[in-house]
Structure 1
Amino acid sequence: MTQPDPVIEWLLDSDPAIRWQVMRDLTDAPEAEWMAERTKVETEGWGARLLACQDEDGQWAGGAFLPASFDPREWRERGQPWTATNFSLSQLREFGLDPSCRPARRSVELIGANSRWEEAGQPYWEGEVEECINGRTVADGAYFGVDVSAIVERLSGERLDDGGWNCERCNGSIRSSFASTLNVLEGLLEFERATGGTPRSRQARGTGEAFLLERNLFRRLGTGEPADERFLLFLHPNRWRYDILRALDYFRAGAMLTGADPDLRLAEAIQHLRSRRLEDGRWPLDWTLPGRVWFEVDGGPGKPSRWITLRAMRVLRWWDERPSIRA
C-alpha cells in the first residue's frame, strides 16, 4: 500500500478553508467530497469566525477600505489596517465561501446598499479610482455573483503603454507596477471565469500577463535585476502585495480555465520556488504585513506555512504534469 504523504496529512489537519482546496487540487478527491468540505467554511473555522465579525449593515469594521475608527497615526505607527470590507471579502473568497450560501448573498446585498468608498463616496460595487482596489473589487464581485462589468470596462481602458496597470496612474505614473497589474489580472480572471469575459477584457488580461512574463515575474526589463527582493519572499495573506508565488498561482488558475500550457518564461520563478522547499517537504512563511487584523491564519514568519505549502504544491503539480514541460 502507498504510504500517506506526511505533508498532505499535515495540510488536511487544518481549517476547512485549506482542507477543501487540498482535496480538490492535490488529492483528486471526488467533487462531491471536496464540495461537502467546502460548505464547512460557512459554519466552521476561519470562515465562520470572519463572518461573525461582520457588522449589521453588511460591512466589516464600518468601512469599505478603512475601518470607521481609522486614524492616520495607526497606519504610520502600526501599519495599514486590514479589517474593513474590501480585505474581509477578499479573504472570504480565498477561504472559498460558497457564493450561493445565505451569508454570502446577504453580504453582497447589504454591502451594495450600505457601503461607500472613502475616496469619494462611490457605491461599493461601482468601484473607486484606484486600480488595485478596483481589481480586487472585480475579483470579489465576480466571485460572489455581482455585475462588475462596468468596472471591468474601465480597467480595460486604464492600461498603460507597457500593457499593465499602476494604481499611481492618476498621479502621473506611466510605468506599470507588478502589484497593481496582478491585482487587476486576478479580477479579470475571476470575471472571465464567471461570465466568459469580453473581447476587451480578455485582450487586457493578455497584455497584463505579457508585462509580467517579459520580466520573468520579478526582474526589471532594463537591467535584469530583481525589481524588489521581497518578490522572491513568500507572504501571506498577500492583501494587495506581490510575490512570485501569488503570480504563479494566478498563471496556474488562468491555464486551468483556458487549457493553455505553462509559459516557459515562468521557469525561473518555478526554479526559485523549488529551491525554497524545506527538507521535510513544506514551505516557510517569510513575512507578514503589519497592521490590524481580525485574527491570524498562519503560524508566523520563519515557520512552515500551510497556505504557502498548499499554493506551492499545486503550482508545481500543474507545472510538472503538463506534457510540454515533461518533454
Structure 2
Amino acid sequence: MAPTDVISWLLDTDPALRWQVERDLLDAPEQQWQATRARIPQEGYGAALLAHQDPGTGLWAGGAFFPAGFLEDPESRELPGQPWTATTWSLTTLREWGMDAAPLIARDTAAKLARHAHWEFDGSLPYWGGEVDVCINAMTLANGLWLGADVETLVDWFLAHQMDEGGWNCEWKDGSTRASFHSTLNALGALHEHERLTGGTDATREAQRAGEEYLLERNLSRRLSTGEIVGPWVDHFLYPPRHIFTALRALDHFRRTGRRDQRMQEAVQMVQAAQQDDGTWLQQHVLPGEVWFEIDVGVGEPSPWLTMQALRVLRWWNEG
C-alpha cells in the first residue's frame, strides 16, 4: 500500500470507523459524517452487536461484567483472558464507536438493566450504582450518561476514591495507595464524559486536572520514582484496547479534552515511531478472550482502527 492510499483504505471500512475518518481526518461536512454515523446501528459491526442484546432483560451474554455462569464454571475460568461479550463491554464498545444511543433508549435498555443486571462481585449491587473496580465504574458512569440513567452517585464515588497523588487504582480495595496508569486514564475518560454532557462541577474539574497531572508528570510513559518506562504496554498499541493504557490512547484522551502539554512529546514520538513505511500502524497486541466477532486484525497486520487513531492524534498535535 502506498501512503497516498491510506485514507482510501480507511474509508473502505465499517461505518463505526468510517464516520470518524470523515470527521477527524477529512473535515467532511457534518451532514456527511453524521449520515455515516447514523448507519452504525443499521449495518456492519453495530447492527451485529445490537443483535446479541437480549430484548427482555437488556443484557448481553446474560451478565453484567462476565457472561452468565462464567464464574461458576471451572473450565471457563481456565481459558486464557476473559470474555468480552457481557453487557458492560458491549455497551462500552457501541458507545466508543460513536453510535447514537437512540436505538438502545428505544429498547428501554437503562431501565431493563436497572431491573435485571447485578454485579458479579456482589449479586446485590444494582447495575447503575457500580461496584468497587475503578475501570468498571468508569465504563458504567460513561455508559449510564450515554443512555440517560441516573449515575450521579458514581461521580461522587470517583471523587471519594481519588488517591493523594492524583490518580486512581482498581486495586485500592486490596490496600493499594499508589495510582495506576490504566485506572487513571479510564477514570479521566468517564469524568470528561460527565463534564461534556452535564457541564461538570468545580470538584470534578479539579479531580480531572489532578488525574491529568498524574499522567503528565510521568510523561504518559514513565515511573516518577525511577524514570523507567512503566510497562511494555505503553507503546504496544492495540485495538480494541479494553481497559489497557497506551501512549496512543492517552494522547487521544487529551485530544478530546483539547489540552496540549510538552510533557506529551515522548508519547507522540512513540506513536510516530510505530508508523510503517506504507503509512499504517500495526496491531501489536490482542487481548485474549471470547468475543462476539472480530472487529480488527491479528497481531502484525495493518490495523485500520489504530491507523485512524494515530493519524488524528498526530494531526491534532501538529496543528498545535
TM-score normalised to structure 1 length: 0.93
Cα distance change on mapping 1:196 and 1:298 into 2, 3 Å: same
Report the Cα distance in structure 2 between the residues aligned to 1:276 and 1:145, rounded to whole angstroms: 39
Which stretch shows the higher mean deviation, 220-229 or 140-149? 140-149
Structure 1 residue ranges, 4+ long, deviating more than 3 angstroms after superposition: 101-105
Report the Cα distance in structure 1 between the residues aligned to 2:262 and 2:34, rounded to whole angstroms: 33
**How large is the Cα RMSD of the aligned pairs?**
1.6
The answer to whether 1:6 aligns with 2:35 is no
Q: Which letter does structure 1 place at the counterpart of 2:118?
A: R
Pairing of 1:174-213 with structure 2 (within 5 A): 174-213=177-216
TM-score normalised to structure 2 length: 0.95
Cα distance change on mapping 1:73 and 1:243 into 2, 3 Å: farther
Cα distance change on mapping 1:191 and 1:104 into 2, 3 Å: farther
Report the Cα distance in structure 2 between the residues aligned to 1:104 and 1:281, rounded to whole angstroms: 41
Give ranges in structure 2 of 5+ residues lacking alignment: none
Q: Which letter does structure 1 place at the counterpart of 2:109?
A: S
Asked if 2 retains the 8 angstrom alpha-carbon contact of 1:75 and 1:81, the reply is: no
The answer to whether 1:129 aligns with 2:135 is no
Report the Cα distance in structure 1 between the residues aligned to 2:40 and 2:106, rounded to whole angstroms: 11
Q: Which letter does structure 2 place at the counterpart of 1:58?
A: G
The answer to whether 1:90 aligns with 2:92 is yes
**After superposition, what is the alpha-carbon deviation per residue over 1:45-102, rounded to whole angstroms, capped at 9, x for unaligned?**
0000000011131000000011003135434332211110010100001221102335
Give 1:104 shift: 6.1
Report the Cα distance in structure 2 between the residues aligned to 1:72 and 1:137, rounded to whole angstroms: 27
Asked if 2 retains the 8 angstrom alpha-carbon contact of 1:143 and 1:191, the reply is: no
Report the Cα distance in structure 2 between the residues aligned to 1:144 and 1:317, rounded to whole angstroms: 31
Report the Cα distance in structure 2 between the residues aligned to 1:321 and 1:165, rounded to whole angstroms: 31
SS at match of 1:20: helix
**After superposition, what is the alpha-carbon deviation per residue over 1:149-188, rounded to whole angstroms, capped at 9, x for unaligned?**
2101111111111110001101100000000111111100
Counterpart position of 1:325: none
Cα distance change on mapping 1:102 and 1:179 into 2, 3 Å: closer
Report the Cα distance in structure 2 between the residues aligned to 1:204 and 1:198, rounded to whole angstroms: 10
Pairing of 1:262-301 with structure 2 (within 5 A): 262-301=260-299
Pairing of 1:7-22 with structure 2 (within 5 A): 7-22=6-21
Report the Cα distance in structure 2 between the residues aligned to 1:254 and 1:55, rounded to whole angstroms: 35
Q: Which letter does structure 2 place at the counterpart of 1:240?
A: H
The answer to whether 1:64 aligns with 2:60 is no
State the number of aligned residues. Answer: 315
Give 1:113 shift: 2.3
Pairing of 1:1-327 with structure 2 (within 5 A): 5-56=4-55, 57-70=57-70, 71-101=73-103, 106-120=108-122, 121-255=124-258, 260=259, 262-322=260-320
Asked if 2 retains the 8 angstrom alpha-carbon contact of 1:231 and 1:242, the reply is: yes
Give 1:139 shift: 1.5
**After superposition, what is the alpha-carbon deviation per residue over 1:270-297, rounded to whole angstroms, capped at 9, x for unaligned?**
0110011000111011011001111111
Report the Cα distance in structure 2 between the residues aligned to 1:94 and 1:104, rounded to whole angstroms: 19
Cα distance change on mapping 1:300 and 1:138 into 2, 3 Å: same
Report the Cα distance in structure 2 between the residues aligned to 1:55 and 1:5, rounded to whole angstroms: 43
Report the Cα distance in structure 2 between the residues aligned to 1:58 and 1:203, rounded to whole angstroms: 35
Identity %: 51
Asked if 2 retains the 8 angstrom alpha-carbon contact of 1:75 and 1:291, the reply is: no
Report the Cα distance in structure 2 between the residues aligned to 1:104 and 1:18, rounded to whole angstroms: 24
Asked if 2 retains the 8 angstrom alpha-carbon contact of 1:17 and 1:96, the reply is: yes
**After superposition, what is the alpha-carbon deviation per residue over 1:32-57, rounded to whole angstroms, capped at 9, x for unaligned?**
11111111001100000000011131
Report the Cα distance in structure 1 between the residues aligned to 2:42 and 2:277, rounded to whole angstroms: 35
Give ranges in structure 1 of 5+ residues lacking alignment: 323-327
Give 1:103 shift: 5.6
Q: Which letter does structure 2 place at the counterpart of 1:66?
A: F
**After superposition, what is the alpha-carbon deviation per residue over 1:243-276, rounded to whole angstroms, capped at 9, x for unaligned?**
1111111111111xxxx4x111100000110011
Asked if 1 retains the 8 angstrom alpha-carbon contact of 2:105 and 2:147, the reply is: no
SS at match of 2:79: helix
Q: Which letter does structure 2 place at the counterpart of 1:87?
A: W
Q: Which letter does structure 2 place at the counterpart of 1:208?
A: G
Asked if 1 retains the 8 angstrom alpha-carbon contact of 2:6 and 2:280, the reply is: yes
